[in-house]
Chain A
Amino acid sequence: MAQSLDRLKESPSQTAGPYVHIGLTPNFCGIGGVYQSDLGSTMVNDQTKGERIELRIRVLDGTGTPLKDALVEIWQADADGLYNSPSELRGAADPDFLGWGRQPTDMETGVCLFRTIKPGRVPFRDGRPMAPHISLWIVARGINIGLNTRLYFADEDKANAEDPILARIEHRVRVPTLIAERQGDTYVFDIHLQGEKETVFFDS
């Protein structure tokens, strides 16, 4: 026997369930008067620096049916590539941009909309710039542990080609599952949980 490492185990995840809205977006599901507004519903104000964009996201199950009870959170850098976080040591991020947003998928259409800004580039661990990207976390009924993925931008071909995380993906045919298509100021991104077009999910 050796000495104990004396560490705790992380609390095991459980599904967010079909009524996740009660806790995380109560106003969206008709529970008014407890919180002024749903946390994460507004990401930008008039002062926020950067190019305004809209993300139009759907989450699809193994039959291609959009989930109407999913919840998506996004986390991203500001226009200069700085995170609004205590662990960001490279400089102060835009004070008018928290960098975090939360939206449920629409109960009828399954569409989830974020109004945000296009993020700047952030360095990888060795200092090389990563391509502009937004980190996503997806929870829903039937998802036992939150799924992590990234959204990259179709109009950033050159940056995407040198991105160290995209380069990690052995099966190159899967890389396009992480690239959102541009339509005007909107980026369209379908997340396939399962099947032939399955989105790349990360363990990091």
Chain B
Amino acid sequence: MTEPGSNRTPETGAFFQRDRQWHPPAFTPGYKSSVLRSPQKALVAFDNTLSELTGPVFGHALVGELDNDLIHNFARPGESAIGERIIVHGRVLDERGKGVPGVLLEFWQANAGGRYRHKKDGYLAPLDPNFGGCGRAVTSEDGGYAFRTVRPGPYPWPNGPNDWRPAHIHFSVFGHGFAQRLITQMYFEGDPLIWRCPIVGGISNKAAIEALIAALDMQSAIPMDALAYKFDIVLRGRRSTLFENGPERN
């Protein structure tokens, strides 16, 4: 299978190991749901096989015209979602700093009042009839992506007696190998709730938390229309072929 719209040579090197001190660990008791949902035994490690090196690739053909416009993709004709209009953009890079082209990004979020369109969300803030809350994009040749949305509101959740999630957008990212699969959350520069959140606080390294905070990007704002935030995502890098010559020429 060739990569859609590209004549790049596919890479087959193993992925750099994950730094699991940098990621949140499985067991973070301040985030109560993790207590019964975290494995207690050690992970079994092995170098990537073909099963981890390969992964599904989705072409640009998957993405519909409004898929990256959350202001309009659920709205009635002529109407749009209510809230602070923003553009979120950035690049998907790997740990070597290379742009990762042709990968699928999916995002989801609450509306401007912090309410999700989901039957399990019983928060009293109302739904916006013109806002669904999902979108997707496939990265360009240099790894770039962009979407239009409204800034989500913070919302309370049943963890501690008075816990509130900071405003955030969930991101799901594919790379070129199944071992690169990642789900994370984007936060907004300057939000004081970030540093009080037990889900964020599962990450112990301050620099790692800052890597999830999108910067206000006035250069990309559209005057009289929308503000902009820039959010880069980094996936695992691959080893290059130095002195390995296994059957798969890794």
- Interface contact A62-B37, CB-CB below 8 Å: yes
Whole-angstrom distance between the Cβ of A37 and the nearest chain B Cβ: 11
- Interface contact A23-B176, CB-CB below 8 Å: no
Q: Is A143 an interface residue (CB 8 A)?
A: yes
Q: Which of chain A's residues have a CB closer than 8 A to the CB of B177?
A: 85, 87
Whole-angstrom distance between the Cβ of B176 and the nearest chain A Cβ: 6
Residue B120 contacts which of A19, A130, A139 (CB distance < 8 angstroms)? A19
The CA of A59 and the CA of B131, in the complex, are separated in Å by 31
Q: Which residue of B lies closest to A150 (CB)?
A: B51
Asked if A130 meets B38 with Cβ closer than 8 Å, knowing A9-B208, A22-B108, the reply is no
- Interface contact A203-B183, CB-CB below 8 Å: no
Q: Which of chain B's residues have a CB closer than 8 A to the CB of A195?
A: 40
Q: Which residue of B lies closest to A98 (CB)?
A: B56
Q: Which of chain B's residues have a CB closer than 8 A to the CB of A199?
A: 39
- Interface contact A34-B132, CB-CB below 8 Å: yes
Q: Is A200 an interface residue (CB 8 A)?
A: yes
- Interface contact A125-B134, CB-CB below 8 Å: no
Whole-angstrom distance between the Cβ of B33 and the nearest chain A Cβ: 3
- Interface contact B246-A140, CB-CB below 8 Å: no
In A50-76, the 8 Å CB interface with B consists of 61-63, 67, 69, 73, 75
- Interface contact B39-A89, CB-CB below 8 Å: no
In B185-226, the 8 Å CB interface with A consists of 185, 199-200, 202-203, 207-209, 211-212
- Interface contact A11-B40, CB-CB below 8 Å: no
Interface readout for A103-145 with B: 1 if CB under 8 Å, 0 if not?
Answer: 0000100000000000000111111001001010101111111
Asked if A14 meets B50 with Cβ closer than 8 Å, knowing A75-B178, A87-B11, A194-B38, the reply is no
- Interface contact B250-A125, CB-CB below 8 Å: yes
Q: Which of chain B's residues have a CB closer than 8 A to the CB of A98?
A: 56
The CA of A100 and the CA of B31, in the complex, are separated in Å by 31
Q: Is A161 an interface residue (CB 8 A)?
A: no
Q: Which of chain B's residues have a CB closer than 8 A to the CB of A20?
A: 108, 170, 183
In B53-68, the 8 Å CB interface with A consists of 53-58, 62, 64, 66-67
Residue B36 contacts which of A89, A142, A145 (CB distance < 8 angstroms)? A142
Whole-angstrom distance between the Cβ of B179 and the nearest chain A Cβ: 6
- Interface contact A142-B46, CB-CB below 8 Å: no
- Interface contact A141-B23, CB-CB below 8 Å: no
The CA of A193 and the CA of B185, in the complex, are separated in Å by 23
- Interface contact A67-B37, CB-CB below 8 Å: yes
Asked if A122 meets B40 with Cβ closer than 8 Å, knowing A7-B95, A34-B132, A204-B45, the reply is no
- Interface contact A6-B55, CB-CB below 8 Å: no
Q: Which of chain A's residues have a CB closer than 8 A to the CB of B50?
A: 83, 87-88, 122-123
Residue A127 contacts which of B37, B93, B211, B247 (CB distance < 8 angstroms)? B247
Asked if A143 meets B179 with Cβ closer than 8 Å, knowing A7-B95, A12-B203, A194-B40, the reply is no
Residue A143 contacts which of B34, B67, B237 (CB distance < 8 angstroms)? B34
Q: Is B240 an interface residue (CB 8 A)?
A: no
Whole-angstrom distance between the Cβ of A180 and the nearest chain B Cβ: 16
Residue B93 contacts which of A8, A21, A26, A168 (CB distance < 8 angstroms)? A8
Q: Is A10 an interface residue (CB 8 A)?
A: yes
Q: Is A181 an interface residue (CB 8 A)?
A: no
In B96-130, the 8 Å CB interface with A consists of 96-97, 106-109, 116-121
Which residues of A line the B interface, CB within 8 A?
A: 6-24, 26, 29-31, 33-35, 39, 61-63, 67, 69, 73, 75, 77, 83-89, 92-93, 98-100, 107, 122-127, 130, 133, 135, 137, 139-148, 150, 165, 168-169, 174, 193-195, 198-204
User: Can you report 7 A-B residue pairs in the complex whose CB atoms are below 8 A from each other?
Assistant: A9-B95, A11-B182, A22-B117, A34-B74, A34-B134, A92-B1, A168-B44
